[in-house]
Chains A and B, each alone.
Chain A
């Protein structure tokens, strides 16, 4: 039965792979710089590497909100978050799976009268503001630097194109690694505690249970990339790359760096040892980071006044609507189920 519940996590992984991989390799595939086959292979390998090597940090951050010890509850939380993401996408909001899951966990804690870690909640909520803001700053600085190089170094247009292709490939691989490292928590993070409690071993060649789950979750993401991301990649790649070749690289690498900053335990420890404020290790939204990066380019190209307030309001609306929506759906689901079964 527990494996049946785990299918919800695998479904979430598949969905993440089908949709979010387009953010990292869309530009490269859309322009046929590399074939979809190569992109799918590279991004799947990098997603798995990121999840297995760096997935621990963001998963611990997610579980700091409160451990969900029942597999059924974990599945309901994931499903509710998934439904919220689907509804918000239909409304055209830059929705975040991470925010939906966090809203759903909070609702689960409220339903089961578990203590709510307000400090963790507020820390996580702040990352929703930090992540697009950081992406904005990184892309602003990076774009300005690239513009200076192009305008002053007299590089031939075709050589710029050549370098940009190589950089897009590297950025795509880094983006896939960061996606695996940061977003694997959304896929299997909630199942770590119930599986540990049940003392099961899924893949004996990995010593830790969490690593086993990360590997399986990232395989599901890889399956999503291979089976369903082609059309999304081509659509996204064409719309993003056709107009701004250099911008595509800046957006992908900026959002990848942001995701890595919120995933790397080594970086967090490095900053803490030096008495510097460290980034909380928590799954953050790649889509919202990408929007932040796009705004950073707009500001570098045309000045601060060019930033569309409507887009900022849309992101802010997502910060409120997504967790609240997920919380509501989770609470209603638990209430409905409690009429029939003992939760």
Chain B
């Protein structure tokens, strides 16, 4: 009988570790971009490696969570929702890593004024991730608070949208030393950073619905 084996506790710990990894990856992503924009090649590579390791660890944890949820038939009425948002959180780590890898390959040149904009964009992005992790945590313990916490994520996304648009306009009003292809490249990176907050917002909105479903 699998009644007293404590699978629930193990899964609880795996989910907490997974959320911790999301927080860490967001911090490292922020630091990696800072070092890239300040042309600190070694630090950038170091943080890229850290994000890659986290991405791998998160994939492993995701596999374990999925296995435990379905193999031990845990939380039958909410497991589909839990697995969905954890899977979506994993996509954020994957996208962050991909973005850093592309930066290391393409090496786009950001002007100093654009760099400031990108730093503030990533800072708000980081706040958004912290708010998202808190939303996910309260989903498990106090679903009545999810909506309140999710609103913080949504507000961050609105800020990111505004900053992203400002950067976009700045990119295409740059002097003629930037070719159109370079501007398109910068714009693409800008949009990719903004899309991380969009992902966070989508997850937060899903969490509001999932929390309503799980309120008894």
Contact = CB atoms under 8 A, between A and B. Distances in A.
B112 interface: no
Contacts of A162: 8-9
Interface string B70-110: 00011111100010000000000000000000000000000
B8 A245 contact: no
Nearest to B6: A162
Contact of B74 (A146, A161, A242): A161
Contacts of A161: 8, 74-75
B206 to A, nearest CB: 16
Nearest to A241: B76
B199 interface: no
Contacts of A31: 73, 76
| Size band of the interface chain A makes with B | 20 to 34
B208 to A, nearest CB: 16
A166 interface: yes
Contacts of B76: 31, 241-242, 245
Contacts, number: 63
B178 interface: no
A7 interface: no
B8 A159 contact: yes
Nearest to B69: A158
Max count, chain B CB within 10 A of own CB: residue among A35, A158, A166, A245: A158
Question: What does DSSP make chain B's interface, helix, strand, loop or mixed?
Answer: loop
22 contacts: A32-B73, A33-B73, A35-B1, A150-B216, A151-B142, A151-B144, A154-B141, A154-B142, A155-B141, A156-B12, A158-B8, A158-B9, A158-B15, A159-B9, A161-B74, A161-B75, A165-B3, A166-B4, A242-B77, A244-B77, A245-B75, A246-B216
Interface in A204-261: 241-246
B3 A33 contact: yes
Contacts of A242: 76-77
A33 B15 CA distance: 21
A174 B45 CA distance: 62
Nearest to A250: B216
B44 to A, nearest CB: 38
Interface in B1-28: 1-4, 8-9, 11-12, 15
A158 B75 CA distance: 7
